[in-house]
Amino acid sequence: MKKNILKTAIIVLLLGAFVYMFQKYDVGEKFGRLFVVMQNITHSLKNAKPAYEEVNLTITDEELKDINISKISKEIKSLIDKRKEQLSKAPPQISTDEIRGEEKPVHNKLNVREAKIVKLEDLPDKFKPLKEFLHQPFKMGACQICHDSNSKKPGALVQKEIEDVCYECHKTRYTKEFDHTPVKEGRCTDCHDPHQSNVRMLLKAESTNDLCMKCHDRKSSFGAKAKKLFVDMDLSTKHKPIVEKSCLECHDAHTADHKSLLYMDGKMDLCLDCHDDEREKIRHSKFKHGGVNTSEKRCLECHNPHATKEKKLLKKEPVAGCLSCHNKEVKSDEDGGMLMNMKKHLDENPNWHKPIKDVEKEGGCSACHDPHGSDNFSMLRKSFTKNFYADLENKDFFCFECHTEKKITKQYISKSSEHNITAFRDGDVNLHYLHVNDRKGRSCRACHDEHASKYNYLIRDYTDFNGIKFPLRFIESAEGGSCAPACHKEFAYDRVNPKGIGK
């Protein structure tokens, strides 16, 4: 009995261990996987062929006809050839005349009537060819091209009007929009001598300019009549092309598509054709002058193209000229805001910034502003800030072009020789340094007005802080002064007897 019990106990234990092992090591699952692998191997051994069905892929002849591969390949080939041909060809050369689309005038020399050729020696003294340039028929002695030999009147013309006589050979009639008045009225001989002249183009004067000035002078009878058309060439500053070359640099003597017989639009395009540097500024700078870019007369708003009293061909004196527009609030092209009434500002405040005060020496408004445009706001020639606060250490401000940087960088000014650096001192302590060289350094404009002020040192009446105007309440004393702005309560400073600011 005991043995039986032992046996059964051992069997039960072994069974239990087996079941435990079976579960712990997932024997069943492992066997399952082995079974699947074996199944796959046997399957692949049995069926070596692929499982998918074979499909008949041959194409019938009919189908081939439909596709017509050869035709397609030909088409493609021809296209490629075409492209190659195009590429191999040199770019088409077009002559400048073709671009202009104008025909060159052809002088019809054969249209000469049965003319008697007169030998030059036989001509009367009056018509002897003594000058440098001769009219071709005159040189040839073919007087009959123009003159009627049958007429009893000496010197009678073939045609009634002079212009008809000229146009018989000079066939290019003037068909553009604007004609020079003598051209329009057929008075060719007003300017040209039909026989001979010492000047090219058989002109009736010493030079081209002289010829023009015969009429277009203020003193001439014509200039007095037509006020707009005279040119005052007696003035000190003259436009270079007129002096060095001639009027014809800009004007056409006969006919033109643009007003005033100009080659291009005279308000700006013609000017910028030569003035390259200004063209860049005017067309491409970030901040543009409304006076040039959006005004009615463009360049001519400020400049006279011929001659003026002022430098740079300006119509008016530098500052006065600017103030002739800036005598009211003008809309700014920069941000659409209104620019201040500068004339009023200057009239009200007697202390002016030196460039405005001493125009001759410093250059007026254009000392700081570039009237043609600039990449800096307000068309300043160099960078500046609009802000109340500015990190002056890292910025290259325009002010320091004239004013020494020591004004703000020197903390103490102890030597008497350096005392002229700044008057804003409390004894030796440089108060500029205190205001500026800080984490929140103030910009120059926080306290100083760039244009004009009632107070000395161009101290502002009001400073703009976040859109609020705060008075600085600056009071100057004999050796110092005091301020009571919004930033602090009233502080006084004295250059001789320091009040102890900044200590």
Categorise residue 93: left if φ over 0, alpha if ψ from -120 to 50, beta otherwise.
beta
Residue (264 or 487) nearer to other proteins, CB: 487
Quote the CA–CA distance of 229 and 93 in Å, as a whole number. 43
Spell out, one character per residue from 403 to 442, where the chain touches other proteins: x when CB under 8 A holds, - when not: ----------------------------------------
In the window 83-112, what residues touch other proteins (CB under 8 A)? none
Q: How far is the CB of 470 from other proteins (least distance, A)?
A: 5
Pair 252, 327: CB distance under 8 Å: no
Identify the three-state secondary structure at position 333.
coil
Q: How far is the CB of 486 from other proteins (least distance, A)?
A: 4
Residue (235 or 492) nearer to other proteins, CB: 492
Residue (237 or 385) nearer to other proteins, CB: 385
Residue (171 or 386) nearer to other proteins, CB: 386
Cα distances from 395 to residues 60, 63, 91, 400, 412, in angstroms, run: 83, 80, 53, 10, 22
The torsion angles phi and psi of 325, rounded to 5 degrees, stand at -100, -40
Q: How far is the CB of 237 from other proteins (least distance, A)?
A: 45
27-46 vs 2-24: helix axis angle to the nearest 10? Answer: 60
324-338 burial, b at 16+ Cβ within 10 Å, e below that, comes to ebbeeeeeebeeeee
| DSSP letter assigned to residue 463 | E
Residue (152 or 489) nearer to other proteins, CB: 489
Quick count: other Cβ atoms within 10 Å of Cβ 379? 23
Residue (387 or 497) nearer to other proteins, CB: 387
Residue (344 or 403) nearer to other proteins, CB: 344
223-255 burial, b at 16+ Cβ within 10 Å, e below that, comes to beeeeeebbbbeeeebbeebeeebbbebbbbbb
Q: How far is the CB of 465 from other proteins (least distance, A)?
A: 7
Pair 487, 436: CB distance under 8 Å: no
Q: How far is the CB of 487 from other proteins (least distance, A)?
A: 7
Q: How far is the CB of 341 from other proteins (least distance, A)?
A: 17
Task: Kindly determine how many residues on this chain lie close enough to bind other proteins according to the rule CB under 8 A.
Answer: 12
Identify the three-state secondary structure at position 260.
helix
Q: How far is the CB of 346 from other proteins (least distance, A)?
A: 21
Q: Token pair for residue 79?
A: 């296209």
Residue (273 or 438) nearer to other proteins, CB: 438
Q: How far is the CB of 351 from other proteins (least distance, A)?
A: 18
Q: How far is the CB of 262 from other proteins (least distance, A)?
A: 50
Quote the CA–CA distance of 303 and 489 in Å, as a whole number. 50
In the window 443-502, what residues touch other proteins (CB under 8 A)? 462, 465-471, 473, 486-487, 489
**Angle at CA of residue 351, ends 346 and 352, nearest 5°:** 60
Residue (48 or 468) nearer to other proteins, CB: 468
In terms of Cα–Cα distance, which of 185, 175, 171 is closest to 215?
A: 185
In the complex, the residues that contact other proteins under the rule CB under 8 A are 462, 465-471, 473, 486-487, 489
